[in-house]
Amino acid sequence: MTVIKVLNKPKLKNPLFIEGLPGVGNIGRVAVGYIIEELGAKKFAELYSKHFFPFVMLYEDYRIHLLKNQFYYLKGKKRDIIFLVGDCQSLSPEGHYEIANEILDFVKKFGVKEICTIGGLATGEIEDKPSVLGAVTDEKYIKKYKNCGVEFDAGKKVGYIVGATGLFLGLGKEKGMDGICLLGETSGFPIVTDPKAAEVVLDSLMKMFHIKIDMSKLEKRVKEMEKFIQKVEDLQKKALLQISKEGKAPVKDKEELRYIG
Amino acid sequence: MTVIKVLNKPKLKNPLFIEGLPGVGNIGRVAVGYIIEELGAKKFAELYSKHFFPFVMLYEDYRIHLLKNQFYYLKGKKRDIIFLVGDCQSLSPEGHYEIANEILDFVKKFGVKEICTIGGLATGEIEDKPSVLGAVTDEKYIKKYKNCGVEFDAGKKVGYIVGATGLFLGLGKEKGMDGICLLGETSGFPIVTDPKAAEVVLDSLMKMFHIKIDMSKLEKRVKEMEKFIQKVEDLQKKALLQISKEGKAPVKDKEELRYIG
Amino acid sequence: MTVIKVLNKPKLKNPLFIEGLPGVGNIGRVAVGYIIEELGAKKFAELYSKHFFPFVMLYEDYRIHLLKNQFYYLKGKKRDIIFLVGDCQSLSPEGHYEIANEILDFVKKFGVKEICTIGGLATGEIEDKPSVLGAVTDEKYIKKYKNCGVEFDAGKKVGYIVGATGLFLGLGKEKGMDGICLLGETSGFPIVTDPKAAEVVLDSLMKMFHIKIDMSKLEKRVKEMEKFIQKVEDLQKKALLQISKEGKAPVKDKEELRYIG
Amino acid sequence: MTVIKVLNKPKLKNPLFIEGLPGVGNIGRVAVGYIIEELGAKKFAELYSKHFFPFVMLYEDYRIHLLKNQFYYLKGKKRDIIFLVGDCQSLSPEGHYEIANEILDFVKKFGVKEICTIGGLATGEIEDKPSVLGAVTDEKYIKKYKNCGVEFDAGKKVGYIVGATGLFLGLGKEKGMDGICLLGETSGFPIVTDPKAAEVVLDSLMKMFHIKIDMSKLEKRVKEMEKFIQKVEDLQKKALLQISKEGKAPVKDKEELRYIG
């Protein structure tokens, strides 16, 4: 029961797939959310899954909202982009693999050959000038993106990338899609969203994929997004506490797992 | 292995689907149980699932009872109603999604387009005049039911609705069914059943769906139902304790999860 | 991956299905094990499952043994019997349902319409004259077996029956098979096997199903079986300890779950 | 979602299947890894699974690596060999069964009739002259390999074999493949790799299967492999800590589960 509901089927030109799900500092979530809003990307599909938390959220005092991931597309001159954002990642370890697998098969049908995932790297310190660290599935990307402000030594600072941010690239490679992961340095918990780290990641994204984004509203918009993200995190923490009192808890507190990914 | 056993296939006229599974204060369970008894709704299907606790209960000293959910129908003048009650909800997070999914597909075949789920909201205080809070999948219900004693600001007091009470609406919307959730305010644990909260919810239900119910036996009947509900809860708690000693426990103690839902 | 390997397909006459898997006091395990040996029942199928512990045992210093359940049959004058014994029950809650479901579908093909499961009831006291408590899926069995030394008030002393002992009857009824559960009173932990309780259960079984068994070797044989049963339990406990150190443990320590079932 | 990706399909002559996945002292991992390197075995398939940890590793500062098991083959005069090595074993109990099952079905298609698994036995003491203990699925192997330095009394020192090392033999027997398990004595935790134990196991392997291996580089190579193995273990421990803070942890810390297997 991982369902992708297709709202419409855009024809896409050599689309790049950019992932920005919640994670460490929610850098991917806010960076990609900002691009979607600023450039007016269009939603074309939604995903929900039994691997998400078993609750619905309440919006605007009374509206019921099922936890979801959303797919958007953006038409470009040379190539199009598919964006993935959402409320949450999988609750169970197997769910991470299963959902990533479904999503990759789905975007592959639109012709995706290149993937870019975005996460955060918790440094434990306030970063005045956060770096963007890169990891790739193929060496060619290091040359290709060497002038885009990405330091290709993520492996020196962190040994693994947890969840969607890592698995999209690991599993993607198995399915013939190569790609790059951008990790913005951030202090980590208890920061909910980190606009500075999101900004440096956006800087790199703009250079890498020749996107133009007006950054002037970033901080304001990130603060607005933060309310909602904070709410989901709080609810998940509450739900986890509730559930873990009973002996077994679902896997992932975003507060914790945001250490990486 | 989630099996719906159909006892007979009634032809139903634009049926409303009302859920009353065990949860916070067991408000849905006793309110719906009372309607079924008072109005003589007829059982037409049963569900059991590998996601329930792995035990059978003993009734009347010697009778073995598999944990189940039950479907009843009630013929009305303008429209019919399907009721769902039962012994328990899912033990695992994924199970909540899977069971809700099966049930929705099942009731949809009978023509269900509208869903009403009933839960409780634990306030931590004895409520002399408990409110009924509402949450909806579509704004139209707020107008439609504005004179039925429901306060449409559940989202101010609670951020999420756990389990069946929430997922039936969230997943239902995805399948083309809209609906409303009624949460009766109740003190919460350690109250097993709350007849007062059940009464205000029943009041709203009567107004919303033009049902007439004689409330004079409510308190007495709720106390009678309480014995059985208490028993199931005690057994589940016992089973959880037993199981959690061994390091891993199934997910959900109803005592705990009745916080919401 | 729950596999039933059929060694041969006996033609059976109205076969009764008797279950004796490990549980409280291992009463079913040793009682059924003793009948199999004494009356020379023949093994005709074996089951293994991903729901069992993920280890193999070592027999006789060097021989590798996969954890299994075994099916035996015994030809009788009026009717035949299928026995189920084995090394263990499921590790996960869902596994209990899935394995019981597979087994019931399997034995139903041989014409089984009646089920008898055997478990123990931990009283916490040394029982000089342990009783046999009964629970049934249909009232008719109370009349039928009223003179067989079974007290049909299990429900007064215990509210539920965990695992295979309970689910075979609960799920069996759904599949058109009725039956009875016999629970021998036993002190419970830390007794591994209880020959006295096994004896009273065997007494009832002989009366109920007109089986003749020479009981003279019972105590000796139970002590012999105990070595093996003890070993499996010790290994499972060890494995659970090992696994639970890592934060999540598989579900069921037989020492614990033998409280009932 | 357990995928075996076949890189090429070698024709193999009565191939022996040798397993060397991470485990106690990583004896199998380093012994089989050394043979593969020394004799130039060729990789022909890879496996990844939703039952592995939900993260990717970072190699060489920037390269993303999905957790995998790898299949190699080696052509011999009389018979060929399939080797299995890898980054990790399953995270969940069911996963152990499912992955072993997939692998056995896969290698069976190449004609495998004999299996040799390699693990470690933690003795808690520094072993100057570690023994190699053997366990078999069929007595014939005791005769066959009696002059190969294997003591066939594993069952006296250990009662079970956890994970792949045990299940390949237990499940293999069910699929018509017999075999032997070699356990090298090692002190156990906190030793990461034990070249001495690997050496005695390699000695036995050379005698048993008439393989010639130059042992002069063993210690050096094991130390080199240790860096990588240590890294995977550290990451898994870190991931487990992270995850277990949230109440539920995936099953298996290699540090712990290396007690046996």
C244 pLDDT above the threshold of 60:
no
How high is the pLDDT of residue B43? 98
How high is the pLDDT of residue B228? 82
B255 pLDDT above the threshold of 60:
no
Tell me the sheet residues that pair with B17. B82, B115
Instruction: Work out the end-to-end distance of chain A between its first and last CA atoms, rounded to an integer number of angstroms.
Output: 24
Query: Is residue C96 a contact partner of residue B48, using CB atoms and an 8 Å limit?
Result: no
Q: Test A135 with D49 for CB contact under 8 angstroms.
A: no
Residue C48 corresponds to which amino acid?
A: Y
Q: Is B243 on the interface with A (CB under 8 A)?
A: yes
Tell me the sheet residues that pair with B150. B132
How high is the pLDDT of residue B187? 86
Of D122, D43, D31, give the one whose Cα is nearest residue D82. Answer: D43
C197 pLDDT above the threshold of 80:
yes
Alpha carbon separation from A134 to A15, A201, D55, D84 (Å, rounded): 21, 10, 16, 32
SS3 call for A145: coil
Q: Nearest CA of chain C to the CA of D259: how many Å? A: 8
Q: Nearest CA of chain B to the CA of A252: how many Å? A: 12
Query: Is residue D144 a contact partner of residue D210, using CB atoms and an 8 Å limit?
Result: no
Torsion of CA D6, D12, D16, D18, to 10 degrees: -30
Collect all residues of chain C within an 8 Å Cβ-Cβ radius of residue B1.
Answer: 94, 97-98, 101
Tell me the sheet residues that pair with A118. A182
Q: Test A51 with B181 for CB contact under 8 angstroms.
A: no
Q: Test A48 with B171 for CB contact under 8 angstroms.
A: yes
Torsion of CA D219, D221, D224, D225, to 10 degrees: -110
SS3 call for A127: coil
The Cα A171–Cα D16 span in angstroms is: 30
Q: Test D92 with A97 for CB contact under 8 angstroms.
A: no
Domain edges within chain D: 2-257
Q: Test A136 with D64 for CB contact under 8 angstroms.
A: yes
The Cα C164–Cα A48 span in angstroms is: 34
CATH class of A13-257: alpha beta
Q: Test C63 with D155 for CB contact under 8 angstroms.
A: yes
Burial of B129 (0-12, 13-18, 19+ CB in 10 A): exposed
- Quote the tokens at residue B197: 């909260």
Question: pLDDT truncated to tens, each residue of chain D (261 aa)?
Answer: 999 999 999 999 999 999 999 988 899 999 999 999 999 999 999 999 999 999 999 988 899 999 999 999 999 999 999 999 999 999 999 999 999 999 999 999 999 999 999 999 988 888 788 999 999 999 999 999 989 999 998 888 888 899 999 999 999 999 999 999 999 999 877 677 888 899 999 999 999 999 999 999 998 988 888 888 888 888 888 877 665 544 333 333 333 333 334
D118-134 burial by CB neighbour count: b if 16+ within 10 A, else e? bbbbbbeeebeebbbbb
E-only strand ranges, D145-201: 150-151, 160-162, 178-186
β C178-186/C114-122 pair status: parallel
Q: Is C158 on the interface with B (CB under 8 A)?
A: yes
How high is the pLDDT of residue A143? 94
- CA D99, D104, D105, D109 torsion-angle sign: positive
Helix (H) or strand (E) holding C69: strand C69-74
Collect all residues of chain D within an 8 Å Cβ-Cβ radius of residue C6.
Answer: none
How high is the pLDDT of residue A242? 64
Q: Is B2 on the interface with A (CB under 8 A)?
A: no
Q: Is D243 on the interface with A (CB under 8 A)?
A: yes
How high is the pLDDT of residue A126? 81
Neighbours of B35 (CB within 10 A): 24
Residue D248 corresponds to which amino acid?
A: K
How high is the pLDDT of residue B7? 97
Neighbours of B15 (CB within 10 A): 22
Q: Test B155 with A91 for CB contact under 8 angstroms.
A: no
Question: pLDDT truncated to tens, each residue of chain A (261 aa)?
Answer: 999 999 999 999 999 999 999 988 899 999 999 999 999 999 999 999 999 999 999 988 899 999 999 999 999 999 999 999 999 999 999 999 999 999 999 999 999 999 999 999 988 888 788 999 999 999 999 999 989 999 998 888 888 899 999 999 999 999 999 999 999 999 877 677 888 899 999 999 999 999 999 999 998 988 888 888 888 888 888 877 765 544 333 333 333 333 334
Query: Is residue B117 a contact partner of residue B28, using CB atoms and an 8 Å limit?
Result: yes
Neighbours of chain C (3+ CB pairs under 8 A): B, D
Q: Is D53 on the interface with A (CB under 8 A)?
A: yes
The Cα B168–Cα C259 span in angstroms is: 36
Domain B2-257 CATH (choose: 3.40.50.720, 3.40.50.10900, 1.20.1260.10, 3.40.47.10): 3.40.50.10900
Query: What's the average model confidence in pLDDT over B204-224?
Result: 92
Residue of C nearest to D255 (CA): C246
Helix (H) or strand (E) holding C32: helix C27-39
The Cα C60–Cα D152 span in angstroms is: 10
How confident is the model over B126-169, as pLDDT tens digits? 878 899 999 999 999 999 998 999 999 888 888 889 999 999 99
The Cα D170–Cα A46 span in angstroms is: 44
Neighbours of B59 (CB within 10 A): 14
Secondary structure of chain B in HEC code, one letter for each residue: CEEEEECCCCCCCCCEEEECCCCHHHHHHHHHHHHHHHHCCEEEEEEEECCCCCEEEEECCCEEEECCEEEEEECCCCCCEEEEEECCCCCCHHHHHHHHHHHHHHHHCCCCCEEEEEEEEECCCCCCCCCEEEEECCCHHHHHCCCCCEECCHHHHCCEEECHHHHHHHHHHHCCCEEEEEEEEECCCCCCCCHHHHHHHHHHHHHHHCCCCCHHHHHHHHHHHHHHHHHHHHHHHHHHHHHHHCCCCCCCCHHHHCCEC
Alpha carbon separation from D19 to A115, B42, C125, D82 (Å, rounded): 35, 60, 50, 8
How high is the pLDDT of residue C180? 97
Q: Is C151 on the interface with B (CB under 8 A)?
A: no
Burial of C125 (0-12, 13-18, 19+ CB in 10 A): exposed
Alpha carbon separation from D226 to D52, D88, D255 (Å, rounded): 20, 14, 14
C27-58 burial by CB neighbour count: b if 16+ within 10 A, else e? bbbbbbbbbbebbebeebbbbbbbbbbbbbbb
Better pLDDT: B11 or D256: B11
Residue pairs spanning B and C at CB distance below 8 A: 130
Tell me the CATH number for domain C3-7+12-257: 3.40.50.10900
Q: Read off the pLDDT band of C226 (50, 70, 90).
A: confident
Q: Name the residue facing B251 among A57, A234, A243 (closest C-beta).
A: A243
Q: Test A173 with D242 for CB contact under 8 angstroms.
A: no
ipTM over 0.85: yes
Chain A residues 184-203 with CB within 8 Å of chain D:
none
Q: Name the residue facing D98 among C1, C55, C247 (closest C-beta).
A: C1
Neighbours of A142 (CB within 10 A): 16
The Cα D211–Cα A6 span in angstroms is: 57
Q: Nearest CA of chain D to the CA of A39: how many Å? A: 30
Q: Read off the pLDDT band of B190 (50, 70, 90).
A: low
Q: Test D171 with C66 for CB contact under 8 angstroms.
A: yes
How high is the pLDDT of residue D243? 58
Cis amide prior to C54 (ω within 30 degrees): no
Q: Which alpha helices (DSSP H) does A120-217 contain, by range? A: 140-144, 154-157, 164-174, 195-209
Residue D141 corresponds to which amino acid?
A: Y
How confident is the model over C115-168, as pLDDT tens digits? 999 999 988 888 788 999 999 999 999 999 989 999 998 888 888 899 999 999
Chain C residues 201-240 with CB within 8 Å of chain D:
231, 234-235, 238-239
Collect all residues of chain A within an 8 Å Cβ-Cβ radius of residue B166.
Answer: 54-56, 64
Q: Is C252 on the interface with D (CB under 8 A)?
A: no
Q: Test B244 with A243 for CB contact under 8 angstroms.
A: no
Residue of B nearest to A53 (CA): B93
Query: What's the average model confidence in pLDDT over B101-112?
Result: 98
The Cα C102–Cα C81 span in angstroms is: 18
Chain D residues 87-116 with CB within 8 Å of chain A:
91-92
